[in-house]
Amino acid sequence: MKNGFIFAHKSTARGRLDLEYLDESSGRKAALRAAKKLDEEVGKKLKGFTDYASKESLGQVHVGGFLHHAIRRNPDGTSTAPSKLSNEERKRRITEVWRHHLNRFGSQAKQPVVAHRLVFSMSMEQHDALVNAGISPDQVVIYSVKKVMERFAEKFHRGDSIGYAYGLHHDTDNLHVHVALCPRSAKGRYVGCSMSRHPGKHKNQMVFMREWFERENRLRAEFLSNPQKMEQSLTKRIDQEKFTIAPRLSTAQRIAFQDSAHEAANHLQQSYEAILRLEAAIAEKKKQQAILRAATSAQRLFGVKKSPLLRAGEKLGATAQTRTLRQMQQLLTKLKRTYLLEHQHYTQHHHTYAHHKPQQTLRRTPSQHL
């Protein structure tokens, strides 16, 4: 599959750190779109992507490398995973830690580099192929960006760590990721992103990044061309339910299915409802685990002592809870994959969804991450 991933461009930010451009829903991005009179056009594109995209990925700024660990620390000494922080709090903490880190390793330049800006895009061809296969393009591109940044750190900063922040954007023809790379490693060494044509003088990091993304593209093409390998790969992932998507049923379609006497329509409706129920159960299970972890952290903070027997029992209980959650996630993936095939089969044999009024038909909706 040609040009599955496209390296768009690289730029350098100096003087002032501004992470708002990473957030596609920020006021700054909205103002830029308004200035270019792109509101209506972008709105349509965003709507198309949000039909399948995970709500967790829309407008969110994420963090990686040593910055991921640095922003976990709370003022009271406890620790909170970045994914549990609000988007605004996450951006605030990233900015604060980023500035503090650069101040520790000051630069003599009048306008020092505060961030390297990278943009990686996914072709529409690969995007559509993933959606048709029931795989979330959002999760695929995030996974690939993380792998490339890991390779970057391993090759150019072995024994050290880099820090970066990124945000997914759905407001153009191509799904793309904006990455802000901190110009100082965890140990304070300068992190370069040279595009030099003279390898003898400078390391051309961008050449390696392009090569790594091309490799990711080849692997993705092989992945999509082999359904059996794709299924095996999905079932091995701990976060497999995030990678699987399924066609959304609108309220009108669900009502139509309930009123339909067609056996296939009824079965499709029941499968969809089962997916929704299981997703809700998984969300509740994760919420309970988060509460237990918070309680355990608080007890450690206040020096609460427990007997070895009680600690062993709590550990066994936590392990059982994790195993149950894992089984629920595996079941959800299986339900989604089965539902996707049933949905495709139904739409191939029925041009419109069944409806209790023959004169009316229901418009098909794009795939959505449930």
Predicted confidence band of residue 36 (pLDDT cuts 50, 70, 90):
low
Mean pLDDT across the stretch 160-164?
A: 95
271 domain-assigned: yes
Do 274 and 139 have their domain in common?
no
234 domain-assigned: no
Give the mean pLDDT of the chain. 78
Do 344 and 195 have their domain in common?
no
Mean pLDDT across the stretch 248-268?
A: 72
Do 22 and 125 have their domain in common?
yes
Q: How far apart are CA 267 and CA 270, in angstroms?
A: 5
pLDDT at 357: 39
Name 242's Cβ contacts closer than 8 Å, sequence gap at least 6. 54, 136, 139, 369
Do 195 and 274 have their domain in common?
no
Number of domains into which the chain is organized: 2
233 domain-assigned: no
Do 64 and 182 have their domain in common?
yes
Do 295 and 215 have their domain in common?
no
pLDDT at 155: 92
Last residue of a domain, one of 225, 259, 292: 225
Question: Which of these ranges, 91-100, 170-179, 216-225, 255-264, has the smallest mean pLDDT?
Answer: 255-264
* pTM, rounded to two decimals: 0.74
Predicted confidence band of residue 352 (pLDDT cuts 50, 70, 90):
low
279 domain-assigned: yes
CA-to-CA separations, 24 to 33, 103, 354, in angstroms, rounded: 10, 28, 38
Q: Both tokens of residue 175? A: 């799904």
Do 304 and 259 have their domain in common?
yes
Do 99 and 159 have their domain in common?
yes
Whether pLDDT at 200 is above 80: no
230 domain-assigned: no
Name the β-bridge partners of 208.
none
Do 360 and 266 have their domain in common?
yes
Do 85 and 216 have their domain in common?
yes
Q: Tell which residue, 278, 274, 370, has the closest CA to residue 324.
A: 278
Domain, as residue range, for 187: 5-225
Do 255 and 218 have their domain in common?
no
103 domain-assigned: yes
Q: Is 198 exposed, middle or buried (0-12, 13-18, 19+ CB in 10 A)?
A: exposed
25 domain-assigned: yes
Note whether 343 and 249 are within 8 A (CB): no
Q: Tell which residue, 172, 224, 222, has the closest CA to residue 8.
A: 172
- Tell me how far apart the 2 most distant CA atoms of the chain are, in Å: 76
Last residue of a domain, one of 225, 254, 278: 225
Note whether 81 and 290 are within 8 A (CB): no
Do 300 and 209 have their domain in common?
no
231 domain-assigned: no
